[in-house]
Amino acid sequence: MGKVLRDLFRFNREFAAGVILLGFVVLIASLSFVSPYPPNDSFVVPPDLPPSWAHWLGTTSRGQDLFWLLTFAIRNTLLFGFTVAAISRVLSLVIGLVAGYAGGIVDRVLMSINDTFIVLPLFPILVLFYFVMRDKMSWILLALVMACLGWAYDARLIRSVAMGLRTREFTETSIFSGMKMRQILVQDHLPYVLPIVFSTTMNNINWSIGLEVTLSVLGFTDINTPTIGVLVYWANQHTAMVAGIWWWIAFPIGLVIVTFIGLFLLAVSMNEFIDPRSRLSRIG
Amino acid sequence: MSATLIEVAEVGRTYAMGGLFSRHRVRAVDSVSFAMETARPEIFTIIGESGSGKTTLARMILNMVAPTEGAIRFRGTDLSTIRGAEARLKFMRAVQPIFQNPFEAFNPLKRVDRYLFMTARRVAGLPEGEVEGAADTALRNVGLSLAEIRGRFPHELSGGQLQRVAIARALIPSPALIVADEPVSMIDASLRISVVNLLRRLRDEMGMSIIYITHDLATAYYISDRIIIMRKGQVVESGDARTVLDRPQHPYSIALKAAVLSPDGTNEKTEVTSHA
Amino acid sequence: MTAPALSVTGLRAYYRTSHFGVEREVKAVDDIDFQVGVNEIYGIAGESSCGKSTLIKTIAAAIRPPLKVLAGSVVFNFGGRAVDVYRAGEREIDGIRWRHLSYIMQGSMNVLNPVRRVRNSFVDFAFRHIGRSTAEFTRVVVDHLKRLHLEPEVLDAYPHQLSGGMRQRVAIALATVCRPEFIIADEPTTALDVIVQKGVLAMIRDVQREIGSSLIFVTHDLAVHANLCHRLGIMYAGRLVEEGPTSEVFRQPLHPYTQHLVSSLPRIGDAEPKKGLEGAPPSLADPPSGCRFHPRCPVAMDVCRGNVPPMVTVAPGRRVACFVAAPESRP
Ligand SMILES: Nc1ncnc2c1ncn2[C@@H]1O[C@H](COP(=O)(O)OP(=O)(O)OP(=O)(O)O)[C@@H](O)[C@H]1O
Ligand SMILES: Nc1ncnc2c1ncn2[C@@H]1O[C@H](COP(=O)(O)OP(=O)(O)OP(=O)(O)O)[C@@H](O)[C@H]1O
Ligand code: SF4
Ligand SMILES: [Mg+2]
Ligand SMILES: [Mg+2]
């Protein structure tokens, strides 16, 4: 695996660029651990200063150093994206593989649940959820809800591949070798759907971050945990744009865009590697 | 009756095929019946047209596809009543398949030895210490050895080697019935004879019954006890193998026998413009 | 005399793999020379895993790592245009595929995309080359399928809904629908019943006759060779060991391996016990020294153990690599 990653880095420009961009973002996020200021303290520095040597990215109207605040924000945003992606991948994998393998009635039941989730209108549900939960709203809760809403489409994709695999003779050899369904799904079928899982992971992270930013900007999330969206929310509350404090909005948005591009490049290049066909030629 | 090993009674299977608008039904197997006795292990050959339902019939016997009509009973138990993991494993201990296409029989991303070990462990239920020995013994039965096969991926083995590994895998739990779907179609004439001899030895020495599906009338003649000839899902002729093949009665069987290419015969060939 | 359609000289192709630092070299094709004439059907037979498919792959320029061509050349001649497969560029080879040269792989019934209907596979492969309207294209394809005893309905099926033999015929249809000049077929008829097989062979012969194409045909079924091929090459452990006009090879096999092969054929009406070849097939990773057949050869001599018998011409059109069959080749 180490060798593969090295080769990928050396020979695949998209991969290298993606790793560098994401590495940069993760580095910034990890700086939050050495921040001199706790994220929720305000008026620790003079407000509304433009970027300077003392405050690289300037300060906010609430008297926070934007750079250090941003490290917390991007950390929480990334964490949020990964959590949603991880939970929803597990859901779509389990449901897609089982439906494709079992077929028949199991498939029909799972897929009708699946279709319900596909047609559910996302945004109103999330907003409704916010109004129901109000003060109890936390990002963990939001991540769970979004994971539940984000698996359905990919599960259908995985199911279609799994159905093809079910008809291959090697699945039958596995059955007659006494392998249990779980083993067959994990050992025989999972490698074939990994490409889908990886590319959809990146897309799913992008999707969930985007949605979280949108919700936060509108104030429909827990506004006391700093995320990129919450940052922009506070900036709007203080009419930063009108007051000419552009950096309060520009830097968070810029960082999110860098994250998007990095994830996208990784998705594209990983795909090529993980595709079983190109993997076959590597095994040899 | 406990003396029957397997009883196929008026079995049929229909498939729906085609697009949304041009749906039509295919009668892959149409009321086929036969039985095999426990006391008399035999090689039971199924020959027939391509697409005549031989594979479908084999899959029904292996309980991989359910019949749409009729019933199949193995040692008196209707296959459709086999439920649960334990019962299924028990069935697999007694009935094992060999598939048509060795290139498809193993997952291309996995090493082939895992199938042998898995079968020894789970189907045959051997303790961990005997697993490798059992795999090696089975491989030696087909002219291979564990040393040759260990750690290899399917694409590193030739068709013949793969097919022999597939046979070896099926032998591990010492099943009472082996369903072999064109097991020799991909291997050379000499090896074909050894595999066919091996099937015969399984019958004679180990008392296994074998359902042997093939297109090769010569090997069918060579080893089988009984034969059925299928066409369009139906059995058109059945009986003692030698009798049927020596003097086929049904027009299709006669045509089939007539179409067999003889290694001595030469059909008309074109003129060669340039000889190298 | 016109130039041969294909000449293979000194071809050597090995699989080189390294697993966790253990290097392994499988000598699957070693020093093979032969030629195929225009309009000729050349058969190749041999033991399982002796390297037939590998030979075919190297000829069809379908080389993928770990397979490496170490030496030799493969030159096709398409109507006066010589194409050296290993000197030509990627583009030229791609231009030749399907139109001039088509290759039916072993196990070709599995090359069909499992989640696409058969019709789509035809469109993917052949539409470009046939270059007609969609309706006419369908007609050409349906006509072609009919010659292979296939109903037009198979076009609307997914591969897993077809029987093995049906899939195999679809693969043959794909490879021949563009009427290429050179067809290379690796075990194309193994899953067919004898009646259909006869029809398919007749179709192949018709296509071959109509467009004067040349054919290399690999199969284990010696009866097919006897009825289809003009000449036959026998391979053993990565080498060509005998070659000659098919009927002569059957009537009077020269190499001890060929002799065994011909005598082990079962026939209808003959239930006399036959035996497979004694001894284990040689490992191509570490082939026997000298003549690779010597550990299993009933007439092996001392000279066979240390010297590789060269392929020599013993009679017009007949070549053999054996010190007993060709005593003059002894060192
Ligand atoms: N899953 C399926 N869905 C629809 N039709 C099917 C399916 N499986 C098989 N069939 C059809 O059933 C018929 C019989 O197929 P089967 O594979 O049993 O033939 P076979 O006798 O084994 O042929 P071969 O000798 O070519 O292997 C064919 O017409 C095939 O198209
Ligand atoms: N990708 C690979 N890597 C390593 N070894 C390989 C690979 N492919 C084939 N081999 C080995 O090369 C040898 C020749 O294989 P090949 O497929 O050419 O045989 P074959 O004559 O076509 O056999 P069959 O008649 O069984 O199809 C075999 O010993 C096989 O194990
Ligand atoms: S060269 Fe020697 S060992 Fe080889 S086939 Fe001839 S007699 Fe046998
Ligand atoms: Mg079949
Ligand atoms: Mg081959």
What does the pLDDT average to over C291-299?
92
Structure confidence at residue C234 (pLDDT):
95
Residue B169 domain flag? yes
DSSP string, B77-134: EEGGG--SHHHHHHHHHHEEEE-S-TTTSS-TTS-THHHHHHIIIIIS---HHHHHHH
Residue B159 domain flag? yes
Q: Which domain holds residue C195?
A: 6-100+180-265+279-329
DSSP string, C12-77: EEEEEEEETTEEEEEEEEEEEEEEE-TT-EEEEEESTTSSHHHHHHHHTT---TTEEEEEEEEEEE
Structure confidence at residue C270 (pLDDT):
73
* Contacts with A160 from chain C: Cβ below 8 Å: 115
Helices and strands (H and E) in chain C: how many: 10, 12
Structure confidence at residue B227 (pLDDT):
95
Residues of chain B with pLDDT under 70: 1-2, 18-23, 159, 265-276
Tell me which chain A residue has its CA closest to the CA of residue B92: A176
Tell me the pTM.
0.79
Taking the centre of ligand 2 as the mean of its atom positions, its distance from the CA of residue B101, in whole angstroms, is 16
Structure confidence at residue A243 (pLDDT):
84
Cβ C26 under 6 angstroms from ligand 2: yes
Which ligand 1 atom minimizes the distance to the CA of B65?
Answer: 1
Residue B99 domain flag? yes
Pick from B248, B225, B255: which is nearest to B34 by CA? B225
Structure confidence at residue B99 (pLDDT):
86
Residue C157 domain flag? no
Cβ C299 under 6 angstroms from ligand 3: yes
Structure confidence at residue A259 (pLDDT):
92
Structure confidence at residue A57 (pLDDT):
86
What would you measure as the largest C-alpha separation in chain A, in angstroms?
73
Which ligand 3 atom minimizes the distance to the CA of C256?
Answer: 5
pLDDT at C20 exceeding the cut of 50: no
Protein residue whose Cα sits closest to atom 4 of ligand 2: B156
Which range has the top average pLDDT, A77-91, A266-280, C57-71, C185-199? A77-91
Calculate the average pLDDT of chain C. Answer: 86
What does the pLDDT average to over C235-247?
93
Tell me which chain A residue has its CA closest to the CA of residue C114: A164
What does the pLDDT average to over A79-85?
92
pLDDT at C319 exceeding the cut of 60: yes
Read off the CATH number of the domain in which C294 is found.
3.40.50.300
What does the pLDDT average to over A233-258?
88
Structure confidence at residue B276 (pLDDT):
43
User: If contacts are CB pairs under 8 Å, which of residues 2-61 in chain B contact chain C?
Assistant: 15, 17-19, 22, 24, 47-52, 55
Structure confidence at residue A282 (pLDDT):
43
Taking the centre of ligand 2 as the mean of its atom positions, its distance from the CA of residue C29, in whole angstroms, is 10
Question: Nearest-5° angle of CA B94, CA B98, CA B103?
Answer: 150
Q: Among A2-11, B157-166, B241-250, C117-126, whose mean pLDDT is lowest? A: A2-11
Residue C249 domain flag? yes
From the CA of C44, the nearest ligand is 2
Read off the CATH number of the domain in which B49 is found.
3.40.50.300
The token pair at A164 is 């093809």
Beta-carbon separation of A188 and B107 below 8 A = yes
Beta-carbon separation of A284 and C115 below 8 A = no
Indicate the pLDDT class of residue A281, thresholds 50, 70 and 90: very low
Domain ranges of chain A: 2-283
Specify whether the CB–CB gap between B67 and B79 falls below 8 A.
no
User: How many structural domains compose chain C?
Assistant: 1
Specify whether the CB–CB gap between C196 and C164 falls below 8 A.
no
Q: How far B107 CA sits from the closest chain C CA (Å)? A: 13
Beta-carbon separation of A164 and C65 below 8 A = no
Structure confidence at residue B253 (pLDDT):
93
Between residues B271 and A248, the one the model is more confident about: A248
- Taking only the tens place, the pLDDT of each residue in A191-200 is 888 877 877 8
Which range has the top average pLDDT, A213-222, A261-270, B30-39, C148-157? B30-39
Residue B97 domain flag? yes
Structure confidence at residue B274 (pLDDT):
47
The token pair at C41 is 């059907």
Q: Which residue has the tokens 């084999």?
A: B58
Question: Nearest-5° angle of CA B59, CA C104, CA B217?
Answer: 50
Task: Report the residue from B100, B255, B274 with minimal CB separation from C164.
Answer: B100
What does the pLDDT average to over A253-278?
77
Neighbours of chain B (3+ CB pairs under 8 A): A, C
CA atoms within 13 A on the CB side of A159: 25
Distances (CA, A) of C99 to B273, C85, C103: 21, 15, 11
pLDDT at A159 exceeding the cut of 50: yes
- Taking only the tens place, the pLDDT of each residue in C73-99 is 999 988 778 888 888 877 888 778 777
How many interface pairs between A and B have CB atoms less than 8 angstroms apart? 64
Mutation test of the interface with chain C: which of B184, B261, B262, B266, choosing the one with the most C Cβ atoms within 10 A? B261
**Residues of B at the A interface, defined by Cβ within 8 angstroms:** 62, 64, 85, 89, 92, 96-97, 99-101, 104-110, 115, 118-119, 121-123, 153, 155-156, 166, 169-170
Between residues B269 and A131, the one the model is more confident about: A131
Structure confidence at residue A4 (pLDDT):
61
User: How many structural domains compose chain B?
Assistant: 1
User: Chain C contact for B111, CB < 8 A?
Assistant: no
Beta-carbon separation of B197 and C276 below 8 A = yes
Q: Which domain holds residue B43?
A: 4-260
Taking the centre of ligand 1 as the mean of its atom positions, its distance from the CA of residue B20, in whole angstroms, is 20
- Taking only the tens place, the pLDDT of each residue in A17-65 is 999 999 999 999 999 898 888 888 888 888 888 888 888 888 888 888 8
Mutation test of the interface with chain A: which of B109, B121, B163, choosing the one with the most A Cβ atoms within 10 A? B109
Which range has the top average pLDDT, A70-79, C79-88, C271-280? A70-79
Structure confidence at residue B118 (pLDDT):
94
Distances (CA, A) of C16 to A3, A118, B158, B160, C72: 19, 49, 16, 21, 17
- 3-class DSSP assignment, residue A42: coil
- Amino acid letter for position B248: P
Indicate the pLDDT class of residue A271, thresholds 50, 70 and 90: low
Q: Return the CATH number of the domain spanning residue range A2-283.
A: 1.10.3720.10
DSSP string, C263-312: HT---TT------PPSSPPPPTTSPPSSSTTGGG-TT--HHHHHSPPP-E
Specify whether the CB–CB gap between A209 and A143 falls below 8 A.
no
